[in-house]
Amino acid sequence: MSPLNPVLGETCQRYAPDGTKYFAEQITHHPPVSAGVMEGPEGKWRFEVIQEFKANLNGHNSVKAHKEGAIVITLFDGTQYIVEEGWIQIDGIVYGEMVINVCDKITVQDLTNNIEAEVVFDPDNKEGAMSKLGSKLKFWGSK
């Protein structure tokens, strides 16, 4: 969740007709860190994030990217979730068909009910995880 083409201090604000509000800001340039808050209608849910964007060239035609930092989701009843995202690989940035693969895992922790889920993506899937969601639920249960 970051503003498009962020410049230090640039903000992005949106107000949806249903009452959803969104605000994001580029808070540092080196390292690139963005912060954002989204709140649902009547405060039914809140989404908060502070993430640092990291990327590495992986050969001459691909990039490996990661947003470091957790996403916190809070529901109106106080239930709170923390979401941590994994790495993605983007192939075909210079030539060929562009393919995006989620190469790691996404972890969701329910802090209120003390449960956790981990979705593990297949890094060998050359068709792209975004075009064909080839994932499996690795673990769901109490900590």
pLDDT tens sequence across 32-68: 888 999 999 999 999 999 998 888 888 888 998 888 8
Question: Is the preceding peptide bond at 17 cis, omega within 30 degrees of 0?
Answer: no
Query: At 76, which CATH number?
Result: 2.40.160.120
Residue 139 lies in a domain: no
Count how many domains the chain has: 1
* Residue-number span of the structural domain to which 54 is assigned: 11-134
User: 75 pLDDT exceeds 90?
Assistant: yes
Q: Is residue 35 part of a domain?
A: yes
Q: What is the CA radius of gyration of the chain?
A: 17
Q: How many whole angstroms separate alpha carbon 92 and alpha carbon 127? A: 12
Of 143, 137, 142, which is closest to residue 118 (Cα–Cα)?
137
What are residue 42's phi and psi, to 5 degrees?
A: 55, 25
pLDDT (0 to 100) of residue 1: 44
Is 109 part of any domain? Answer: yes
CA dist 140 and 143 (Å) reads 9
Residue 27 binned pLDDT confidence (cut-offs 50, 70, 90): confident
